[in-house]
Amino acid sequence: MGIKKYKPTSPGRRGMTTVDKAQVTAKKPFKKLLSNKHNPAGRNNYGRITSRFRGGGHKRLYRTIDFKRDNYGVPGRVATIEYDPNRTTYIALIHFADGDKRYILAPEGLSVNDTVISSAKADIQPGNSMPLSAIPVGTIIHNLEVKIGRGAQMVRSAGVGARLMAREGSWTQVRLPSGEVRRVHVKCRATIGTLSNGEQGNVHIGKAGRTRWLGRRPHNRGVVMNPVDHPMGGGEGRTSGGRHPVTPWGKPTKGYRTRHNKRTDVYIVSRRKK
């Protein structure tokens, strides 16, 4: 698996690269695990835009992913490795011994016909799900639960992995991909290994149209607007804004702290930014 380049048959093709999907083994998804996906285009339930420059893009069907891994003690065989348009990492279709079929996030090194299981006594192999109390310190993990039984909420992007740093009493310390060290309860579950498709971050988009396929609309700079539209707008000729970068509503955009969730501050041992 690597980065795939193309012959420069057009200006867009010249700078364009894609991921070589040699790991993907299926062209069509498993129909019973698909559902419709609404595209809100950055609008809230009132129809007002809350996230700018969103909209359009290719239609997608949502693949139902098993983030809870609550099929305890039942081994499953990897049937296919598939592409998922809703996420950066690949997904794997698992055929369990009891007849159940589920999608999971595919870790690096998982291949067709491998066996995975969700158990506290499982081997330390990619794709096996275990509580943090049963995982050796120093192991690379992904698909990390934050609340017991809720399902994985952290470490779910392509190529990422967290490291279990320490265990003391009912709590563990996990170093996240951002560098932050966070306390997580030992009963929370995680999956062994690093997630697949790590080359995804090296892809060059190549042309503006490909960004539109992803549902991202053109982003206007503040310095090209009028003063009525943006604090950095206006001026004779081209200007650099005359002040530190801000949003259209005057909030700083570089280095300004916007975290206000004090409720979870007690779980953070070390910030990602010192």
- Residue 273 pLDDT > 90: no
Residue 44 resides in a domain:
yes
Q: Is residue 161 part of a domain?
A: yes
Return the closest-CA partner of residue 151 out of 63, 261, 70, 266: 70
pLDDT per residue over 116-142, tens digit each? 999 998 889 999 999 999 999 999 999
State the average pLDDT over residues 47-53: 94
- Mean pLDDT computed over 197-208: 92
pLDDT of residue 274: 66
| Per-residue tokens: 55 | 């909209």
Residues 78-110: tens digit of each pLDDT? 999 999 999 999 999 999 999 999 999 999 989
Residue 85: inside a domain, yes or no? yes
Mean pLDDT computed over every residue of the chain: 92
For the chain, the domain total comes to 1
Flag whether 102 is in a domain: yes
**Per-residue model confidence as pLDDT tens digits over 13-42:** 998 999 988 889 998 999 999 999 999 999
Residue numbers of the domain that contains 142: 20-201
Whether the predicted model's global pTM rises above the 0.85 cut: yes
What is the CATH classification number for the domain harbouring 97? 2.40.50.140
Q: Report pLDDT for 208.
A: 93
Sign of CA dihedral 16, 20, 26, 31: negative
Task: Provide the pLDDT for residue 181.
Answer: 95
Examine residue 97 and state whether it is found in any structural domain, yes or no: yes
pLDDT digits (tens, 9 = 90+) for 162-198: 999 999 989 999 999 999 999 999 999 999 999 999 9
Q: Which of 177, 151, 150, 153 is nearest to 163 (CA)?
A: 177
CA 42 distance to own-chain centroid: 18
In angstroms, the CA 163 to CA 175 distance is 5
Answer whether residue 236 is part of any domain: no
Residue 82 lies in a domain: yes
pLDDT band at 1 (very low <50, low <70, confident <90, very high): low
Query: How does pLDDT run across 215-264, given as a tens digit for each residue?
Result: 999 999 999 999 999 999 999 999 998 899 999 999 999 989 888 888 98
For residue 255, being part of any structural domain is answered with no
